[in-house]
Amino acid sequence: MSVSVRPAVRTAPLAGAAALALALLAPAQAAHAAPITGSLVLAGGAVAPTNSAVYGTFLTKAGGSGARIGVITAASDVPADDPHAGDPATCSNSVCNGTYYVDLLKNTYGAADAQWIPIDLDHIANNSSQSVINQINSMTGFFFGGGDQSRLVTTLLKSDNSDSPALAAIRARFTAGAAVMGTSAGTTIANGRDMVTGGESWDALRYGSYTTVSSSHPDDLTYRPAGGFNFFTSGLLDTHFAARGRQGRLTRLAADTAHTRAFGIDEDTALVVTNPGSANETDAVVGTNGVSVFDLRTATVGTHSGYWSIDDVKWSYLTGGDTYTPATWTASSTKPGYAPGGGSVGSRWSDVFSSPDSSTDHPYQMVTMARELVDAGRSTYQYGISYESGPTFEADLTKGTGYQAWRSGTAVSFTNLTTHLYVY
């Protein structure tokens, strides 16, 4: 991989120990004016239509057989930009995606009603339409589809970052008890401040985070400081997480922007949030893969061989049925404790950030490396390196203070695996 030098002015806005210290002094997000009684179902993307653990949980939270769901697909392309718009089998745009989710929620999962909310880049003015607001006010749940979260910003937020009338109506329904589900971009938009907008892990570790997208460097880590819709306030969110090796980009963004906690949600998996934003918030994992939680409270940002590094990040990986309590920073599981007495790790791992530049696909590579360490009762340490060089980054995992693991069948979870990222 060739490496281009970034202009000197494109530096991370707030990095290192100062950012982490600031995070301890300021609240992670702005407080809500009223307690939220609705629930969130935040999916990491690529949710199989047969995944009843995710969709079924959403329908239950939205009222079960009486659920009325508003489907928002404004993150998708509009039909004019979809070369397959005329083919229902291959199309992917706001209208056909809306039709797909309406059918799925009504005819597969038994919602009493599901309706497309007609807001997209072709119908931005509908975000202040009284008929659309009346439609929103009749709903008990809202589903935000995937695509590009910037389209949701354009279609549902005003230029001053305040709510459009349609988003204000959705927020009021959410506060009053409606459930909100997102997948991929529809989950990312739930972020508060510093919403991630793009980037790859190696580029994030090498060059830092930026608030503007560079056409010359499309893999740069970019983010929107004003954030998304501020539905989820317990930490940063990222999606398609372990499959695309986004551990590096999320850790770097959290460190650069003074967040001490971040959540990475895997594909076909969701984080179910009850009592969101309150001292009683509980986050539960449903689905086929897992949710990573990164605790940066004791992390130290520095340099190693002249490049950015971070030490002492605590990584928890939770699978179906596990829970996390933000108020106490603790993970818990009903699975049996898992502490094998034998076994050792193998050789160093490669492509730990599942690089899109690799000729061999390595999804879930860092999770698989962590799983090897968890299974190795005689080993306390394992490491791997990035596919990219110039420089090559290393990820070290250590069973340190507070480490614990659980297992049930093939499902393995762990908490407080100490993680270090630096140049190899």
* Catalytic residue annotation: 184, 203, 240
Residue 3, CA distances (Å) to 210, 216, 217, 252, 398 in order:
17, 11, 10, 19, 31
Report residue 329 CA to chain centroid gap: 18
Strands 195-198 and 221-224 come out as antiparallel
Which residues lie below 8 Å from residue 9, measured CB to CB, with a gap of 6+?
none
With b for 16 or more beta-carbon neighbours within 10 A and e for fewer, the 206-230 pattern comes to bbbbbeeeeeebebbbbbbeebbbb
Of 80, 166, 351, 16, which is closest to residue 174 (Cα–Cα)?
A: 166
Q: By three-state DSSP, how is residue 38 classified?
A: coil
Residue 156 parent element (H or E): helix 149-156
User: How far lies 263's CA from each of 5, 40, 46, 166, 360, in Å?
Assistant: 30, 14, 17, 28, 27
Residue 155, SS3 per DSSP:
helix
Tell me the two tokens of residue 389: 């060089």
Euclidean distance between CA atoms 326 and 316, whole angstroms: 13
Comparing CA positions, the residue from 268, 290, 224, 221 lying closest to residue 249 is: 221
Longest dimension (CA), the chain: 65
Q: How many angstroms separate the CA atoms of 346 and 371, rounded?
A: 12
> Hey, CA dihedral for 312, 275, 196, 32, is it positive or negative?
negative
DSSP strand E in 305-344: where?
307-319, 323-325, 330-332
Look at residues 152, 317, 171 and name the one whose alpha carbon lies nearest to residue 230: 171
Strand pairing partners for 209?
Answer: 221
Q: What is the C-alpha to C-alpha distance for residues 217 and 221, in angstroms, rounded to an integer?
A: 9
